[in-house]
Chain A
Amino acid sequence: MRTNSRNFYLIPYVLWIALFVVTPLLLVLYYSFFDIEGHFTLENYRKFFTPVYLKMTLSSFWYAFLITLFSLLIAYPTAYLLTKTKHKQLWLLLIILPSWINLLLKAYAFLGIFGTYGAANSFLEALGIGGRQILFTDFSFIFVSVYIFLPFMILPIFNSLDELNPTLLDASNDLGGSSWVTFKRVIFPLTLDGVKAGCQIVFIPALSLFMLTRLIAGNRVITLGTAIEQHFLVTQDWGMGSTIAVFLIIAMVFIMVLTGRRKRGIL
């Protein structure tokens, strides 16, 4: 696929980039240089480096990291076991299905399940552990976020595991590799692309979560997304909101470049 044949199928994609990516990007960049009264200023950027926003950035990254980590830890075995089942495509579809039910409805269901008199607490009491506050804690926030992102992590990992050539595993076993060695040396490296795609799809949006921070974490967790939401919809300080967005986008590019490099080292 060299030079000239690239052009014809590129047209819609390039058009899409120009219209829906570059234009909004320029708009965001443009707005970030204006204060709330419409004067040109660099004040927004100065404000971003005050402790409030730096703390917020740090905690956003921390929570996004935790969410990605737990999603990966749960998703990888799930995807692996799914590839071993008989009707694997059906089971996979059934994993995705719950995400077609509206997020707000599921959040309301979790409010009920995790509530003081909810199913989770009844369960804990039946176990003899006793009821406790689950709602509006870090635990409930991470649990529900992982719940939401799990299918997005499973899908790419499943696809790369499914592509795995079984003869490679047999070869490894025949050469005396234990299961763990086979996993570490053969399976995991070969599915790394899927893992990376999954991590990108989870980590990047997790940085800017906003709905769940209010519904499930009761605003005990403030992420960059929450702040942008506030600035755009409540304060109408589009300048500050855009500035935070600019930093989010820079962070995203940074992550992409980073994961891109790592791959070259391995292959």
Chain B
Amino acid sequence: MKKIRKWPAIYLALIFIILYAPILYLIFYSFNSGGTMYQFEGFTLDWYRELLTDTRLLIIVLNTVIIALLSAAISTIIGVAGALAIAYARKRRVKNTLLSLNNVLIVSPDVIIGASFLILFTMIGLKLGFVSVLLAHIAFSVPIVVLMVLPKIEEMSTSMIYAAMDLGASRFDVLTKVILPYITPGIFAGFFMALTYSLDDFAVTFFVTGNGFTTLSVEIYSLARRGVSLNINALSALLFLFTIILVAGYYFITKRNEKPNGMGVRQ
């Protein structure tokens, strides 16, 4: 393995370059005085200045973050419960049915989900806005969480659970002291996936939003008519920088305090 250590590094570097290329491209043009995403004319900070005075956009960004965080947290809780239910279903038929129902929302195109949620919410009489968007985001994030958590539960050997029970642990204890710690990496993975889905969603949000409530992707899609204005680039650059700092900071703080944290940690 040691002889070829160079190649893995090159491979990983290449993957990272490709993953970040479009983002660097966006950030690069956020400094363009030309106003378009090609033909770099000159350096300017105007787009950032314009951004800082725009309260409406700030509200939209904050709304987006709130929806993403809350929906990811709630859908993770529901999803973990669902994954446990599927994993410990005794009959294969029940298991397959649950799993199929679980995945219906992943396979359904966004427009259908959006339109049917809209019908559903109006049937219930729910006012469109923050709550309806939050509910919709929770709804389409749950199956992702289930899919991320399920493999973790299934690879856990049942003997651990029986051992704990034999030692007199209550069912609640088994859940909180044996199962949950073991599947923590999967839970974090599910949470981050849910976050990703929520941040990226446009079509579903478009249908179920209203009364002045908007998220960033809906705003960007509606601006796209004339080619996205560069202050959106500037906004992405700032958000991106902010998340990088947050992620790195969080990582190093937890790293110093205890053993490695985050997703995919070995317990």
Contact = CB atoms under 8 A, between A and B. Distances in A.
Contacts of B263: 89, 92-93, 155, 159
Nearest to B104: A21
Contact of A109 (B25, B193, B244, B261): B25
Contact of B84 (A9, A109, A249, A252): A9
Contacts of A77: 11
B192 interface: yes
A238 to B, nearest CB: 8
A54 interface: no
A60 to B, nearest CB: 11
Contact of A108 (B84, B96, B228, B251): B228
Contact of B120 (A19, A88, A93, A110): A19
B131 interface: no
Given A74-B15, A105-B236, A193-B151, A249 B193 contact: no
B100 interface: yes
A162 interface: yes
Interface string A72-91: 00100110011011011111
A95 B175 CA distance: 31
Contact of B26 (A109, A207, A249): A109
Interface residues of B, number: 98
Given A102-B216, A208-B108, A88 B147 contact: no
Given A151-B196, A204-B107, A260-B99, A193 B155 contact: yes
B107 A207 contact: yes
B77 interface: yes
B57 interface: no
Contact of B248 (A90, A98, A194, A249): A90
B147 A197 contact: yes
Interface string B105-122: 111111111011101100
Interface string B19-39: 111110110010000000110
A77 to B, nearest CB: 6
Interface in A184-200: 193-194, 196-197, 200
A227 B29 CA distance: 34
Interface in A178-237: 179, 193-194, 196-197, 200-201, 204-205, 207-208, 210-211, 224-225, 228-229, 232-233
A27 B25 contact: no
Given A90-B248, A159-B189, A260-B96, A113 B22 contact: yes
B167 interface: no
Nearest to B79: A13
Interface residues of A, number: 96
A100 B199 contact: yes
B243 to A, nearest CB: 6
A105 to B, nearest CB: 6
Given A9-B84, A77-B11, A92-B264, A210 B100 contact: no
Contacts, number: 279
A163 interface: yes
Contacts of B19: 95, 98, 147, 150
Contacts of A201: 106, 144, 147
A228 B112 contact: yes
B251 A24 contact: no
Interface string B238-263: 01100110011001000100001111
Contact of B119 (A9, A13, A27): A27
A102 B22 CA distance: 11
Contacts of A74: 15
Given A1-B161, A89-B262, A101 B103 contact: no
Interface of B: 1, 8, 11-12, 15-16, 18-23, 25-26, 29, 37-38, 77-79, 81-82, 84-85, 88, 96, 98-113, 115-117, 119-120, 138-140, 142, 144, 147-148, 150-152, 154-155, 161, 171, 174-175, 185-186, 189, 192-193, 195-196, 199-200, 202, 216-217, 220-221, 224, 227-228, 232-233, 236, 239-240, 243-244, 247-248, 251, 255, 260-266
What are the 6 A-B residue pairs with the smallest beta carbon separation, nearest first?
A89-B262, A109-B22, A24-B116, A13-B82, A20-B139, A252-B107
12 contacts: A1-B88, A5-B171, A24-B120, A98-B19, A99-B200, A101-B22, A106-B26, A108-B26, A112-B37, A241-B112, A245-B112, A257-B100
Interface of A: 1, 5-6, 9-10, 12-13, 16-17, 19-25, 27-28, 74, 77-78, 81-82, 84-85, 87-106, 108-110, 112-113, 115, 117-119, 147, 150-152, 155-156, 158-160, 162-163, 179, 193-194, 196-197, 200-201, 204-205, 207-208, 210-211, 224-225, 228-229, 232-233, 238, 241-242, 245, 248-249, 251-253, 256-257, 260
